[in-house]
Amino acid sequence: MLVVMRQDATPEQIQGVVAAVEARGFRAHPIPGGQRTAIGVTGNKGTTEAPAFESLPGVLEVIPVTHAYKLVSREVKAEDTVVQVGTVRVGGPELVVMAGPCAVESREQVLTVARAVKRAGAQILRGGAFKPRTSPYSFQGLGEEGLKILAEARAETGLPVVTEAVDAEGVELVARYADAIQIGARNMQNFSLLKCAGRARKPVVLKRGMSANLEEFLMSAEYILAEGNYDVILCERGVRTFSDFSRNTLDLAIVPAVKRLSHLPILVDPSHGTGRREKVAPLSRAAAAVGADGLMIEVHHDPDRALSDGPQSITPEMFETLVRELRQIAPVIGRRL
């Protein structure tokens, strides 16, 4: 349920409600809004306690939240959430482009790609130091060494870094080096990992599972918010369908659907979404047009020799052309790039 405070409620009154919620063994999530503060309550069964909260000083009303997901829903927070990744704001008027290699392969490779995408206009650097690979014999990533390379690329280019954590120990390690923690499609329902990310003090980029429906996707985000980390960015990266001309089917229709139900920002990843280099630019343009808050794109300076996801990685030249096109599309839909 949601405890809505009066517009003139004092910080002490807000604190009083938080204390009353916690005294019952529930969790309180204060959500400051433009007009007033609301306090999301989780851990309760039903709304039998509503009258007790309603009579507390400063409380306007207590309303039940009907959706299965609570904290991620617009019922609880009507205004769009803006997530700060390093110096970059995701979910505001800016269309945010994250770019970089699928995997961190070497210092040379990351610095080359980071410089190129920065020059072209990317705002955030991506790259996996821990890679969730289908085969145990495929390149698994450089681990902590890869994180150090990413940190060096950030120091040189100024680009904040997003990189994946594949397990609980990885969350802590990644949080130490990166500006945002990526949770991959294969881990979208790894609930212990989600809880761990919910306790981290860095924003989380949560990718949609390859067979997850909208409710499952939002429930996974809810796991992270329920632990107290409200800085979650969703990412559509394609789902499995019968369609056989691309690696996955990029479900762009989920963008307006998410926007209607949730206040969280949503990115689109057309690289994993299509799996084919030549499809990345057209689907990026479409993602921007459909209202995505940003894009996550795999770029490699020598894609044919990439250690992972070469076929879907675009070259720095292709990326530069794409950013130029996105700059023309952005103002048409009221965005900046």
Applying CB under 6 A, which residues contact ligand PEP?
102, 128, 132, 184-186, 207, 237, 272
Shortest distance (Å) from residue 217 CB to Mn ion: 19
Shortest distance (Å) from residue 196 CB to Mn ion: 22
CA distance 256 to 266: 10
Closer by beta carbon to ligand PEP, 67 or else 186: 186
- Of 102, 129, 150, 165, the residue at the interface with Mn ion (CB under 5 A) is 102
Give me the amino acid identity at 240. Answer: R
Closer by beta carbon to ligand PEP, 190 or else 229: 190
Closer by beta carbon to ligand PEP, 107 or else 186: 186
Q: Which residue has its beta carbon closest to ligand PEP?
A: 184
77 binds, among ligand PEP, Mn ion, none (CB under 5 to 8 A by kind): none
Shortest distance (Å) from residue 308 CB to Mn ion: 6
Shortest distance (Å) from residue 183 CB to ligand PEP: 8
Non-local CB neighbours of 302 within 8 Å, separated by 6+ positions: none
160 binds, among ligand PEP, Mn ion, none (CB under 5 to 8 A by kind): none
Closer by beta carbon to Mn ion, 39 or else 235: 235
- Of 146, 273, 309, 323, the residue at the interface with Mn ion (CB under 5 A) is 309
Shortest distance (Å) from residue 283 CB to ligand PEP: 14
Closer by beta carbon to ligand PEP, 16 or else 132: 132
Residue with tokens 């923690």: 181
- How far does Cα 114 stand from its chain's mean position? 20
Closer by beta carbon to Mn ion, 37 or else 313: 313
Q: Which residue has its beta carbon closest to Mn ion?
A: 102
Closer by beta carbon to Mn ion, 58 or else 184: 184
Closer by beta carbon to ligand PEP, 263 or else 272: 272
Shortest distance (Å) from residue 248 CB to Mn ion: 12
Pairing type for strands 27-32 and 37-42 reads antiparallel
Shortest distance (Å) from residue 272 CB to ligand PEP: 4
Q: Spell out the SS3 assignment of the chain.
A: CEEEECCCCCHHHHHHHHHHHHHCCCEEEEEECCCCEEEEEECCCCCCCHHHHHCCCCEEEEECCCCCCCCCECCCCCCCCCEEECCEEECCCECEEEEECCECCCHHHHHHHHHHHHHHCCCEEECECCCCCCCCCCCCCCCHHHHHHHHHHHHHHCCCEEEECCCHHHHHHHHHHCCEEEECHHHCCCHHHHHHHHHCCCCEEEECCCCCCHHHHHHHHHHHHHCCCCCEEEEECCECCCCCCCCCECCCCHHHHHHHHECCCEEECHHHHHCCHHHHHHHHHHHHHHCCCEEEEEECCCHHHCCCCHHHCECHHHHHHHHHHHHHHHHHCCCEC
Which region among 34-42, 81-89, 97-105, 198-206 touches Mn ion (by CB under 5 A)? 97-105
Non-local CB neighbours of 132 within 8 Å, separated by 6+ positions: 164, 166, 184, 186, 187
Shortest distance (Å) from residue 235 CB to ligand PEP: 7
- Footprint of Mn ion on this chain (CB under 5 A)? 102, 309
